[in-house]
Amino acid sequence: MLVDAGPGESGGKVVSYLRSQGVSTVDVIVATHPHEDHIGGMVDVLNNFNVGLYVDNGVTHTTSTYENLVNKLVDDQTPYAEVKAGKTIPFATGILISVISPTSISGDMNEDSIILKITDGTQTILLTGDSSLTPGDVQAQILKVPHHGSKHSSDSSYYRQVNPEVAVICVGRGNDFGHPSAQVIDNIEKAGASLFRTDNDGTVVISTDGNSWQVESSGMSSSSSKPSFQPIYQRTISPTPKPTQKSYTPFVAPVIVQPASAFVQNSQSSGSAPCNCAGPDLDCKDFSTRREAQACFDYCKSNGYGDCFRMDGDKDGKVCESKK
C-alpha cells in the first residue's frame, strides 16, 4: 500500500524506491487529499506499476495535477473508491487499516485529509496527511506528523493524545515554508518521542512484526543532484521505555574483502570471528600460519558452515597441514 506520492518532482524517486524494494504491483494507493505535494507523484506511480485500488476522500481540485491524475485513473480504469471515517481498507490478513477521518467534508483540504490508523497486533501507526484532527482514540506508537510539522499543525495536547514513541516528519529539505516549526519539534521532544525527519534522515523505514517496531533511516548524499537511496549513514532504533536519547550510528560500509590474517588479528584482540565463513572464498595461502587456518576451520565448522573453504582435503579435521 502506498499512502501519498509526494510532489511531482518526487514521483521518480518514489518509483525508484518501490522498484528497489522489488515492488511490481501496488495493491492499494491512498491519496490523503488532492494537494500537489501529496498527489504530484501519483501519475508516475500509476505509469510504472499495476495498481489494484485507488482510494481518496472524494474531494476534487482544479489543478492540472489533479486533472491529469483523474484522466490517468479513467484511462486505466483503475478501481477507485471514496472513503470517509468508519471505512476499513482491505489489506493483508491481520492488519487492520481504519479510516478515522474525515467524518464529513469541511472544505479545508488539509483538515479533510484521510487519516489512517493501521493496527498490526499491538502496534499502531497513525498516518495523518495534513490533518491536525484527533478523532477518537488516536494513540499510536508511530506517528506521521501532520502537515509537514507546520506551525499550527500539532500542539502539545496533540502529542498527549497520540502519545507516540516515534514521530516522523515528511518534509522537503530547505523548503520555502519554514517547515517544520521549532515549536512542533519542541512539542514532539517534550512528549518523549523519537523524531525522524526526511529532510535530515532521508528515507525512513518502519518495520513491525505486530509486537514491536523498528525504525531505520538512511541519509542521502547532500552533494548528489540525482535521486539516490545510497545510504550515507544509518540510524536504527527499537522500542525502549520512551527513548530519550538518540544516537547516530555511522553507516557500516559494504563488506570489504580482507586477508584472513586480519580476522585472526581481530579474533585475538577483540574476540570476534577468526574469518568470514560466508565468504569471500579463502584457501591456505590466505593464512599466515596453520594455526590461523585451523582456527577459521574450527570456527566455521562449529557454526554450521562445515569445511566451507575446502581446506581439509583428507577429512581428518586438520587443515593446511603443509603449512607451519
Partner 1 sequence: MEIASEWMEIKTERFVKVKSKLKILASQKDYMKVTVDRKEGDFFVMVPATGEKFNLPVSQYPNLKEGDVLDISESEISSATEEAKARINNARKGLNKIDL
Residues at the interface with partner 1 (CB under 8 A):
8, 35-37, 53, 55, 60-67, 70-71, 73-74, 77-83, 87-90, 109-110, 150-151, 176-179
Closest CB to partner 1 among residues 64, 244: 64
Contact (CB, 8 A) for 242 and 165? yes
Least Å distance, CB 262 to partner 1, is: 52
With b meaning 16 or more CB within 10 Å and e meaning fewer, what string describes 251-280? Answer: eeeeeeeeebeebbbebeeeeeebbbbeee
Grid coordinates representing 24 are: 511490481
Least Å distance, CB 39 to partner 1, is: 10
Least Å distance, CB 256 to partner 1, is: 43
Rounded to 5 degrees, what angle do the CA atoms 2, 150, 242 make?
75
Least Å distance, CB 52 to partner 1, is: 11
Closest CB to partner 1 among residues 169, 282: 169
**Is residue 258 helix, strand or coil?**
coil
Closest CB to partner 1 among residues 150, 294: 150
Closest CB to partner 1 among residues 128, 208: 128
Closest CB to partner 1 among residues 172, 243: 172
Closest CB to partner 1 among residues 179, 235: 179
Closest CB to partner 1 among residues 81, 232: 81
**Cβ partners under 8 Å of residue 256, min gap 6:** none
**Is residue 311 helix, strand or coil?**
coil
Instruction: From residue 51, give the alpha-carbon distance in Å to each of 29, 30, 70, 91, 306.
Output: 7, 11, 14, 13, 46
Which residues does residue 119 pair with via DSSP β-bridges, in sequence order?
A: 96, 124
Least Å distance, CB 23 to partner 1, is: 22
Least Å distance, CB 297 to partner 1, is: 60
Closest CB to partner 1 among residues 85, 273: 85
Residue 149 DSSP class? G
Least Å distance, CB 80 to partner 1, is: 5
Contact (CB, 8 A) for 166 and 143? yes
Give the separation between CA 287 and CA 40, rounded to whole angstroms: 57
Least Å distance, CB 148 to partner 1, is: 9
Backbone phi, then psi, for 301, in 5-degree steps?
-65, -40
> How many CB atoms sit inside 10 A of residue 221's CB?
12
